[in-house]
């Protein structure tokens, strides 16, 4: 028995983007994690009309977030400040990541950059990218040429 699986190109693209992003972020961090101190979690899904990118950015003020689209690449950069808190007993614990980050993901070809929207609410940056119009074949009709019947008057 054969099972047919519907091919969904945007889902394949999203999976590939996630793997490449993880790979590239690993290269940036290196063994000592000197160049980039943290990378926010990213969810990507699609609706009927959009591809949605959601970044977890808790504790980052909206004005510290930069979003850029160039050459079909969406880049998000921001910086989270380190907060110094000391207890009276002298105990310190720093588990939250801080510092700057940059994260880039590829966008589908043929998108309208002017239609991209973003909103930041409750520490989640949600960017909606309208899907490009599907390329449809154009039908070209042949024009009929009427030639004379060859009879002379």
Q: What is the arithmetic mean of pLDDT over 113-142?
A: 86
Which of the residue ranges 54-58, 98-102, 143-147, 148-152 would you say has the lowest mean pLDDT?
148-152
Q: Which region among 38-42, 69-73, 79-83 has the lowest average model confidence (pLDDT)?
A: 79-83
Domain ranges for the chain, please list them.
Answer: 9-130
Q: Can you read off the two tokens belonging to residue 5?
A: 């699986």
DSSP 138: P
Residues 9-130, CATH architecture:
Sandwich (2.60)
On the question of pLDDT at 10 being above 90, the answer is no
DSSP code, position 109: T
For the entire predicted model, the pTM comes to 0.60
Q: Which has the closest alpha carbon to 41: 16, 22, 26, 20?
A: 22
b/e per residue, 106-124, with b = 16+ CB within 10 A?
A: ebbeebeeeebeeebeeee
Of 31, 29, 11, the residue nearest 21 (C-alpha):
29
């Amino acid at each position: 028995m054969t099972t047919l699986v519907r091919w969904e190109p945007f889902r394949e693209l999203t999976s590939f983007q996630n793997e490449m992003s993880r790979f590239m972020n690993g290269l940036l961090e290196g063994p000592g994690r000197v160049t980039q101190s943290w990378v926010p979690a990213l969810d990507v899904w699609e609706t009927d009309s959009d591809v949605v990118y959601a970044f977890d950015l808790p504790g980052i003020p909206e004005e510290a977030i930069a979003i850029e689209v160039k050459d079909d690449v969406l880049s998000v950069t921001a910086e989270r400040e380190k907060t110094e808190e000391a207890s009276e007993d002298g105990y310190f614990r720093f588990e939250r990541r801080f510092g700057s980050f940059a994260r880039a993901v590829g966008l589908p070809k043929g998108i309208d950059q002017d239609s991209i929207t973003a909103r930041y609410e409750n520490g989640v940056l949600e960017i909606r990218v309208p899907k490009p119009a599907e390329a449809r074949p154009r039908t070209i009709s042949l024009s009929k040429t009427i030639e004379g019947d060859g009879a002379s008057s």
